[in-house]
Amino acid sequence: MKKVGIVYGCALLLSSITVSSCQKDSSQSGDVEVQGPSEPAQGGDSVAGGQSPSSDGPAFSEFKDQVLKECQDSLGLFASEIVYTGFDGTNEFQSPLWTSSSCKIEADIEAAEGRYTSAQMRELFEGIVEIRDLETLAEGKTFQVSFGTAGIFSWDEAASALEFGEYGAILEATAAGESDVTITLGELSTTVKVIAKEYQAADTNAGEQIYDGTTAVDGVTACASCHQSANGVDHSPNWVSVCSDAELASAITTGEYGNNDQDEEGMCTGYKLSVAHSWSLNADQANQVIAYLRTLPLQPEAANEEEEADADAEE
């Protein structure tokens, strides 16, 4: 899959060279986000930064075999630990569970720093990506979603496959509450906690009015004026489903994802928006906008890929 959500911004382009999730601090996890190596400066004989490779450590072929074996042995599925959505009894709340593969090789990658050339590291990363290829892993296997608590979420397998590809699930909240959701692909599985916060339909509808500018708020430009423009950033549940309400409220009003003691931390705290984003909304207004954001229609993966291709062409 291409995404797990905002960050996940991450934005987690999970089929990229990334080995696992984008963590705010990868030292807190056994997984590691590995960026693609830079181009070798001298025919592949330099490491990143132009330094000469060190002779310390095992030969590259031995190191590569070791890392690829450890990646294979630790192979698993990855999805956000927590996904947020809502329910108000009237509007439709959907959330995607983006799924990728991961392997735990952080110590190996740290140990490789300065030892091998950029070309060698690129060769290693290509091997990791090949091991983690979901299409290969999925051959002859069944993708399933199961719920720890019944009656809160539904999963339309056909719609999920049609809109988000074979390895992502679209959940729809049918009640307020939370449930552990287990995603299984053959012998691989991961469990996500999905929380559907109870909103009032009147608040969701009021959020739409603020969002599109129907209700004027002093000092606040209608969200739609930017986000629904040709280059508008997607802030549907594609991205915001991994952010708690507190994190989103902070992003809306300060331009930085923050948190407080009243809300469980999502994956977004500590990230800053790349553009000025500071609207003077009170707590009730921010809650209304957040409720509405959680009802925005999801963009199919094909549409996201087209947008990414268009953006690359413009650069």
Give the 3-state secondary structure of residue 68. Answer: helix
Task: Give the C-alpha separation, 175 to 247, whole Å.
Answer: 23
Q: Which two tokens stand for residue 11?
A: 């934005």
pLDDT at 283 over 70: yes
Find the angle CA(76)-CA(81)-CA(85) to the nearest 5 degrees.
130
With tokens 């051959």, the residue in question is 139
Extended beta strands in the chain, E state: 76-78, 82-87, 94-98, 100-102, 143-147, 153-155, 168-173, 177-185, 188-198
Q: Which two tokens stand for residue 266?
A: 């999502």
DSSP secondary structure letter of residue 217: B
Task: Give the C-alpha separation, 266 to 249, whole Å.
Answer: 13
Q: At how many degrees (to 10) do helices 283-293 and 201-212 cross? A: 90
pLDDT at 276 over 80: no
Structure-model confidence comparison of residues 278 and 112, the more confident one: 112
Q: Is 245 a member of any domain?
A: yes
Residue 229 is predicted with a pLDDT of 62
Question: Sorting pLDDT into bands at 50, 70 and 90, what band is 222?
Answer: low
pLDDT at 80 over 60: yes
Q: Is 253 a member of any domain?
A: yes
Average pLDDT over residues 107-116: 85
CATH code, domain carrying 219: 1.10.760
- The amino acid at residue 18 is T
Q: Is 32 a member of any domain?
A: no
Task: Give the C-alpha separation, 89 to 83, whole Å.
Answer: 19
Q: Is 101 a member of any domain?
A: no
Q: Which two tokens stand for residue 154?
A: 């539904």
Q: Is 70 a member of any domain?
A: no
Average pLDDT over residues 60-74: 94
Q: Among 23-32, 189-198, 245-254, whose mean pLDDT is lowest?
A: 23-32
Residue 53 is predicted with a pLDDT of 54
Q: Is 140 a member of any domain?
A: no
pLDDT at 257 over 90: no
With tokens 């070798």, the residue in question is 40
Question: Sorting pLDDT into bands at 50, 70 and 90, what band is 306?
Answer: very low
Q: Is 35 a member of any domain?
A: no
Write the pLDDT tens digit of every residue in 118-154. 999 999 999 999 999 988 888 888 889 999 999 999 9
pLDDT at 156 over 60: yes
Q: Supply the mean pLDDT for the chain.
A: 75
pLDDT at 30 over 50: no
- How many domains, the chain? 1
User: Which residues span the domain enclosing 228?
Assistant: 199-300
Q: Is 234 a member of any domain?
A: yes
Structure-model confidence comparison of residues 17 and 315, the more confident one: 315
Q: Report the percent of the chain where pLDDT is more than 90.
A: 35
Q: Among 26-35, 139-148, 200-209, whose mean pLDDT is lowest?
A: 26-35
Average pLDDT over residues 277-282: 77
